[in-house]
């Protein structure tokens, strides 16, 4: 039986996003909001919300218990230094905590993630099952012989 650790990340997130797209509602403000301070424009992907929620679900499963601040740092970027001369070094900038928090709340409403007191969020048994089933489907559909043993 394949687990989420066995499947390639990109394919797993793509497949998981297509399954979550019907279950999660993108907020009205999401199409106008930047994903972080280091960005100039909002995301251009049409399925951005589902892809970010799928990625967050995978990250919570791998690193949980994890909180909003650590997730925002993980999805962060670098902000350039001075705009005028470009002489100061780039600094790290975290992503939007509102996007992370809202996606986590929607995943909690779907019973895929739950809060663990004050330690952060962890994946529920239903969320783990969804991740593992999706990983099994991904590995079956891949045409990569080195991953045959996990199918």
> Residue ranges per domain, the chain?
9-150
pLDDT at 61: 92
Q: 149 pLDDT band (50/70/90 cuts)?
A: low
Q: Which CATH number fits domain 9-150: 3.40.50.20, 2.60.34.30, 1.10.10.10, 3.40.605.10?
A: 1.10.10.10
**Mean pLDDT value across the chain:** 84
pLDDT in tens, 88-137: 677 788 888 888 899 999 999 999 999 988 888 999 999 999 999 998 88
In the chain, how long is the greatest CA-to-CA distance?
55
pLDDT at 84: 65
Q: What's the N-to-C CA distance of the chain in angstroms? A: 7
CA distance 87 to 102: 36
Q: Which residue has the higher pLDDT, 83 or 101?
A: 101
CA angle 64, 66, 68 (to 5 degrees): 150
Q: Do 138 and 15 form a contact (C-beta atoms < 8 A)?
A: yes
Q: 80 pLDDT band (50/70/90 cuts)?
A: low
- What's this model's pTM, rounded to 2 decimal places? 0.84
Tell me the average pLDDT across 40-68: 87
CA distance 40 to 82: 15
């Amino acid at each position: 039986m394949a687990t989420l650790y066995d499947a390639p990340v990109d394919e797993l997130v793509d497949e998981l996003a297509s399954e979550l797209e019907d279950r999660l509602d993108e907020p009205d403000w999401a199409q106008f909001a930047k994903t972080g301070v280091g960005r100039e424009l909002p995301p251009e992907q049409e399925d951005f919300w589902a892809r970010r929620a799928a990625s967050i679900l995978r990250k919570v499963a791998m690193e949980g218990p994890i909180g909003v601040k650590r997730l925002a740092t993980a999805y962060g970027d670098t902000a350039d230094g001075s705009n005028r001369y470009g002489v100061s070094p780039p600094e790290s900038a975290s992503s939007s905590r509102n996007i992370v928090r809202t996606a986590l709340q929607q995943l909690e409403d779907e019973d895929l993630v739950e809060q663990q007191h004050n330690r952060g969020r962890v994946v529920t048994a239903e969320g783990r099952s969804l991740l593992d089933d999706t990983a099994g489907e991904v590995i079956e559909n891949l045409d990569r012989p080195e991953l045959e043993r996990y199918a």
